[in-house]
Amino acid sequence: MQNQLRQFATLVLVGSLLLSAVTVAGQNRNDWSRVTAIAAGSKLDVKLRNGKTVKGTLVSASDRGLSLTVKNSPVDLNRDEVRSVHEVLKKGSAVKGALIGTGVGAGVGAAAGAISDANNDGGFGEGLDAIATAALTVVGAGAGALVGYFVGRSSNKRVLVYETK
């Protein structure tokens, strides 16, 4: 039974890797029309051929290049100067991060309490071990929620829109 489970897990892993490779191969990142389709006001990270990076807000994009606002100043970039364009998206919410952190923290706290309880020989204080496990679970959940809130609030996701060789 355990051997069949390993084979199934291996099959799922290989299948997911192949599927992700097919998905990435199907996206043409050398297509400038993907840049012109970005909505004005979007946050962009543009890497130039000279190695510099320009971070700003998109004003407009055309077949010839990009117009950005960088620190309240207009910046025009020719298409020939651009190596890659990443759109910066707001990834997650603070609430979602807090919920995930709560679950992870509660799990870690419960596991710590269970490990501590497993080391007990069943003598005096058995009821105290259950209380300690519950307390560790609550403390872990609270700490996880706090960390998850701040991580979720500040996280952004960069999506590669255009890249040339």
How do residues 65-119 score in pLDDT, each as one tens digit? 999 999 999 999 999 999 999 998 876 677 777 788 888 888 887 787 777 666 6
Closest among 2, 7, 83 to 45, alpha carbons compared: 83
Last residue of a domain, one of 64, 90, 116: 90
Domains held by the chain: number: 2
Angle at 45 between CA 82 and CA 16, to 5 degrees: 100
Domain match, 14 and 80 both: yes
pLDDT tens-digit readout, 21-78: 444 444 567 789 999 999 999 999 999 999 999 999 999 999 999 999 999 999 999 9
* 8 Å CB contact between 149 and 17: no
Torsion, Cα 126 128 134 140, to 10 degrees, reads -120
Q: Which CATH number does the domain housing residue 7 bear?
A: 2.30.30.520
* 161 occurs within a structural domain: no
pTM of the model: 0.51
Q: Is 115 a domain residue? A: yes
Q: Which domain holds residue 14?
A: 2-90
In degrees, rounded to 5, the angle at the alpha carbon of residue 97 between the alpha carbons of residues 141 and 71 is 140
Residues 37 and 84 in one domain: yes
